[in-house]
């Protein structure tokens, strides 16, 4: 499990960096895919869902894949994001493996994937899940300066 987790973390950071460079990247020569696309396809091939737990790294990977999907206009990326999020967001909007009482800010990161899914599908459960994450932020402990 540690090895798989480490592999996903490394792929997430690599993919995020590659996705950020995708827009500025010159067109790839014929028959050669951009590195960001190669990494995304590798992650998707090795992990049918990004991760079996709601967490920061999964959010990072999904955000990068979302950017690649927008840039390439390839529906496979949107389908992967939906499949990954759907594995954890229940029909009533509850998020499996997420506990607001943990007050873990890292768990908020994956919630960014909910916005595009909600807009694209109009499925109310994504908005409910996002509302639950926002509620955590409303009650999250703060420093004397007001930061989380």
Decide: 16 and 63 in contact? Cβ < 8 Å. Answer: yes
Residue 123 token pair = 């499925």
For the stretch 74-125, pLDDT in tens is: 999 999 999 999 999 999 999 999 999 999 999 899 999 999 999 999 999 9
Q: What is the pTM of this model?
A: 0.79
Q: Crossing angle, helix 75-86 and helix 56-72, to 10 degrees?
A: 160
pLDDT grade for 5, boundaries at 50, 70 and 90: low
For the stretch 35-86, pLDDT in tens is: 999 999 999 999 999 999 999 999 999 999 999 999 999 999 999 999 999 9
Angstrom distances, CA of residue 61 to CA of 23, 26, 48, 90, 122: 17, 23, 13, 21, 23
């Amino acid at each position: 499990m540690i090895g798989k987790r480490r592999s996903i973390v490394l792929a997430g950071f690599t993919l995020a960096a590659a996705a950020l460079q995708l827009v500025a990247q010159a067109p790839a020569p014929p028959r050669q895919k951009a590195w960001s696309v190669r990494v995304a396809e590798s992650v998707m091939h090795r992990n049918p869902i990004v991760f079996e737990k709601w967490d920061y790294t999964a959010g990072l990977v999904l955000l990068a894949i979302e950017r690649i999907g927008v840039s390439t206009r390839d529906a496979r990326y949107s389908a992967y994001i939906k499949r990954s999020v759907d594995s954890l967001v229940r029909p009533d909007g509850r998020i499996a493996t997420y506990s607001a009482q943990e007050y873990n800010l890292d768990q908020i990161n994956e919630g960014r994937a909910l916005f595009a899914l909600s807009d694209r599908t109009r499925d109310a459960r994504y908005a409910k899940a996002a509302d639950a994450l926002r509620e955590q932020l409303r009650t999250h402990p703060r420093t004397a300066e007001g930061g989380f």
